[in-house]
């Protein structure tokens, strides 16, 4: 590692030889050193040993252009981030470097570039056509008068579909009717020991629910099928879906929640 002014001067042979023996190693080592050369020339190369970066002086001799990172430990050549990919005229066509996640999620950038898996996932979720059902969760209804599917994040959903799967209130020994509620809003009244199936759709935008429920009596015979509709207390800010029986406790079945964005 050495640096030199590259000026031999009008000196005798011995001094000239000594100056050349200093200048040539500087040229051979690309003027390497922790500090920039004291004497600089347009387009000269300098290996910055402090930062392990090979640099080139601008043609105007007024600054440095960083070219590459040289990994001395691994003995490898490394590209620096945010390197522009250009055509023969110097027009940028791409970028080797991390671009903002917002660029990928907006889907409007035209530059080719690097993208990590997390940003790709976020961009797909942002740009993919909204629609189709997504499973939100399933809650067993095997005990208690209130069962709750909690820990939900409904932001971004337009509607919920709640499917009642063979839910029973009470046992053979119990009697009495039970009002069934979703998050405190009544949706149906069941005769003693009834089982019910059906589906209710909740519009999270308008705040209403609508659906159909079929009741089956203790003998297994379908007794009634009723349409249900009304205002809903569930919104995109809700974090749980609860099913409550005002009378008999739940004894079997489950409810399934699907969401649409």
State the average pLDDT over residues 180-184.
Answer: 94
The SS3 of residue 105 is helix
Residue of higher predicted confidence among 111 and 36 = 36
Alpha carbon 15 to its chain centroid, in Å, reads 67
Q: CA neighbours within 13 Å on the CB side: how many for 108? A: 2
Residue 222 has pLDDT above 90, yes or no: no
Q: Same structural domain for residues 119 and 215?
A: no
Task: List C-alpha distances in Å: 39 to 3, 29, 49, 61.
Answer: 9, 15, 17, 10
Give the bridge partners for 231, in sequence order.
208
User: Average of pLDDT values for 107-127?
Assistant: 80
Residue 126 CA, distance from chain mean position: 9
**Same domain for 138 and 27:** no
Q: Which of 128, 157, 191 lies at the terminal end of a domain, its last residue?
A: 128
Give the residue with greater pLDDT, 147 vs 112: 147
Residue 200: pLDDT over 90: yes
- Neighbouring residues of 1: CB distance < 8 A, sequence distance ≥ 6: 29, 32, 33, 49
Residue 80 phi, psi dihedral angles, 5° rounding: -80, 150
Instruction: Tell me the pLDDT band of 138, cut-offs 50, 70 and 90.
Output: very high
The dihedrals phi and psi of 102, each to the nearest 5 degrees, come to: -60, -30
> 252 and 153 share a domain?
yes
Q: Of 10-24, 81-95, 185-199, which gets the smallest average pLDDT?
A: 10-24
- In the three-class reduction of DSSP (H, G, I as helix; E, B as strand; rest coil), residue 189 is classed as strand
Residues 38 and 154 in one domain: no
The reply to whether 74 and 117 lie within a common domain is no
**Residue where a domain stops, chosen among 128, 144, 159:** 128
167 plus 200 within the same structural domain: yes
Give the mean model confidence (pLDDT) for residues 219-243: 88
- Looking at the fold, whether 72 and 170 belong to one and the same domain comes out as no
pLDDT of residue 117: 83
> Which pLDDT does position 115 carry in this prediction?
80
Mean pLDDT of the region 85-109? 84
Place of tokens 């001799």: 61
Q: Residue 255 is part of a domain; what is its CATH number?
A: 2.60.120
* pLDDT range class, residue 173, cuts 50, 70, 90: low
Enclosing domain of residue 175: 133-260
Is the same domain home to 91 and 10?
no
- pLDDT band of residue 232 (cuts 50, 70, 90) is very high
Same-domain pairing of 165 and 111: no
Same domain, 120 and 155: no
What count of residues does the chain have? 261
Question: In the numeric block, which tokens belong to residue 132?
Answer: 């189709």
148, 229: one domain: yes
Query: Which residue shows structure tokens 């950038």?
Result: 109
Number of domains within the chain: 3
Mean pLDDT to the nearest integer, 178-192: 88
Characterize 54-79 residue by residue with b for buried, 16 or more Cβ atoms within 10 angstroms of its Cβ, and e for exposed: bbbbeeeeeeeeeeebbeeeeeeeee
Q: Are residues 145 and 119 in the same domain?
A: no
The overall average pLDDT reported for the chain is: 85
């Amino acid at each position: 590692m050495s640096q030199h002014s590259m000026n031999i001067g009008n000196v005798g042979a011995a001094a000239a030889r000594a100056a050349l023996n200093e200048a040539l190693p500087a040229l051979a080592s690309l003027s390497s050193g922790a500090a920039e050369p004291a004497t600089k020339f347009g387009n000269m190369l300098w290996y910055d040993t402090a930062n392990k970066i090979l640099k080139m002086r601008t043609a105007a001799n007024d600054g440095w252009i960083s070219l590459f990172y040289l990994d001395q430990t691994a003995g490898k050549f490394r590209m620096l981030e945010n390197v522009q990919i250009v055509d023969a005229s110097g027009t940028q066509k791409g970028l080797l470097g991390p671009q903002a996640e917002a660029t990928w999620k907006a889907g409007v950038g035209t530059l080719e570039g690097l993208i990590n898996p997390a940003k790709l996932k976020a961009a797909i979720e942002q740009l993919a056509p909204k629609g189709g059902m997504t499973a939100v969760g399933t809650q067993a209804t095997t005990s208690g008068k209130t069962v709750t599917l909690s820990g939900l994040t409904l932001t971004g959903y337009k509607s919920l579909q709640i499917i009642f799967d063979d839910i029973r209130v009470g046992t053979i020994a119990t009697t009495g009717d039970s009002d069934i509620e979703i998050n405190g809003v009544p949706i149906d009244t069941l005769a003693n020991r009834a089982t019910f199936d059906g589906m209710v759709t909740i519009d999270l935008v308008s705040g209403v629910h609508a659906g159909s429920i079929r009741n089956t009596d203790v003998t297994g015979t379908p007794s009634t099928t009723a349409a249900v509709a009304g205002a809903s207390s569930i919104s995109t800010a809700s974090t749980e879906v609860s099913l409550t029986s005002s009378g008999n406790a739940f004894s079997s079945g489950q409810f399934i929640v699907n969401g649409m964005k």
